[in-house]
Chains A and B, each alone.
Chain A
Amino acid sequence: MLETGAGDFAWDSATTIATAVAAGRVSASHIVEATLARIRERDPLLNSFTAVTEHRAFGRARVLDAARAKGEKLPPLAGVPFAVKNLFDITGLPTLAGSKINRDLPPATRDAALIERLEAAGAILVGALNMGEYAYDFTGENIHDGPSRNPHDLNRMSGGSSGGSGSAVGGGLVPLALGSDTNGSIRVPSSLCGIFGLKPTYGRLTRARTFPFVASLDHLGPFARTARDLTLAYDAMQGFDANDLACADRSAEPVAPHLDKGAGGLRIAVAGGYFKGKTAEAVAAVDCVASALGANRDIDIPQAERARSAAFIITASEGASLHLDRLRTRAKDYDPAVRDRLIAGAMTQASLVVKAQKFRRWYREEVLKLFAEVDAILAPATPCTAPLIGQQTFMLGDVELPVRANLGLYTQPISFIGLPVVAVPVPLAPLPIAVQIIAAPWREDVALRIAHALEAQGVVAAPRPAL
């Protein structure tokens, strides 16, 4: 078995690693060793990890290596290191959800369902990742753990709230990570860190044993540096789970067998109106992807701005409801920027929240009509490339907007009705930015096929940072 000089697989894909481990060209133990060395070396710069599960990772690697030695066929993600946003339960650790308060929780007694599913597919958990407090964030900053940093410029934001996930994958620490997305928290870090992210259909992936934020809008999903890796992880995590009441009772619909079908024959349009980019980078990214796909038609997503407002209200109110007891007893232990939003959310009148939920139903029906005409819609993932850490505002056209609340301007109206989206990174210089490929409910396959086709054309790619 190739051990000495096997390389650290720092920028190799999950697919390459799993193939090498399954073929016996490298051991899972070597992969873990190289990964942990990389985390030790680079994470002091990136600040993406809040815990490293070294002992557990070596234990899993030894099991895989022993199975390989006995001639057993290894599962599809054998030896692939991955890490999870620290709102996923990890046995033996308190589930921080980016907070100070949760450090007092007892250690989790069972892993989150998606960790179990990835490990059943052979992947190896190496740690927990930094995130915005209680996921109410688009910046990747955290007052307790410090900001996770953008691998392409350490002075810039990773994006939130799954900032550590974006930073760790974009920075080459792991090829695969998991995060959550309530209003854009997978797609925003994907965009700022220049990686691929999948926010599946609402109800597709189980959220069992993760710390919630807004039950009506919470999704979980993977980050990776290739569309194929995203697909392999997604396929491994599908399937009904009665432990998440929002999880749809659907059979797994694996995408990997269809990934190479290409984008030919798919009807693709560009979101107009509200989604028209107002910065040079957002415009360039969408133009680049649209041109490669021959998407020369604009489509209007009706009432998108109002949809974002409705998502804003539901988030404020449901988030506040989740935290009401803690706000009464431990308000001083919150990040002030999160605390004051939550307290204001608690004061939002129920009649307005119900109205937002009624509007959500109406909007869903209107948007679904568009998918009779098109198979996918393109839109910017973020209004701009990564802002500087600590930056309070940015310019959108002539308007100056607060960063924290507005990086999700283009993601919120989409997750609001649970549509599946793949964020694909366009490697612009000096900083990447992503485009959302939005599909009809349960058609992750369409978005992933398009992402893979764009990658094959060289139009989208995760740029390797000079770390």
Chain B
Amino acid sequence: MKHKAGRKTKSARTKRPRPARATAKTRPKNSIDAFVTASAQALGLTFDPAWHDSIAFNLRLILRHAALVDEFVLPDDAEPAPVFHA
């Protein structure tokens, strides 16, 4: 189910097609496992293989939370909370 921000801005009123995405529920387990391995390599993180399952478990948990935020449609002009002051 898609949730929309209540505020009606110009961009929020514009209908945009949203491609189907893999969610935490639909993403296959082994894709996360592969992602953990690839991310670790990309980030220069080496770890004991015995930690892999726990890291993958925590990443799945984060992605479940992320899915809840991701499905909430915000207007294009929504500003992120932190504001840099020059």
A residues with CB within 8 A of B: 216, 302-303, 305-306, 308-310, 312-313, 316, 324, 327-328, 331-332, 336, 339-341, 343-349, 352, 354-362, 364-366, 405, 417
Contact = CB atoms under 8 A, between A and B. Distances in A.
A349 B62 CA distance: 10
A386 B70 CA distance: 33
A340 B55 contact: yes
Given A328-B45, A360-B80, A362-B5, A347 B59 contact: yes
Counting contact residues on chain B (CB < 8 A from A), the size range is: 35 or more
Nearest to B53: A340
A216 B74 contact: no
Interface centre among B51, B55, B74 (most CB of A within 10 A): B55
Given A306-B68, A309-B66, A362-B5, A347 B39 contact: yes
Contacts, number: 110
B82 interface: yes
B39 to A, nearest CB: 4
Interface in B47-65: 47-48, 51, 54-59, 61-63, 65
B1 interface: no
B43 A359 contact: no
24 contacts: A303-B3, A306-B3, A306-B68, A309-B66, A313-B66, A316-B62, A324-B43, A328-B46, A340-B55, A340-B58, A343-B40, A343-B45, A345-B58, A347-B35, A347-B39, A347-B40, A348-B66, A352-B66, A356-B66, A358-B74, A358-B81, A361-B79, A361-B81, A362-B5
B43 A347 contact: yes
Interface of B: 3, 5-7, 35-36, 39-40, 43-48, 51, 54-59, 61-63, 65-66, 68-70, 72, 74, 78-82
Given A313-B62, A347-B55, A357-B82, 17 more contacts: A303-B3, A306-B72, A310-B69, A312-B62, A313-B66, A316-B62, A343-B58, A344-B55, A344-B56, A346-B43, A347-B39, A349-B66, A352-B69, A354-B80, A362-B74, A362-B78, A366-B6
B80 to A, nearest CB: 4
B69 A355 contact: yes
Contact of B81 (A345, A360, A405): A360
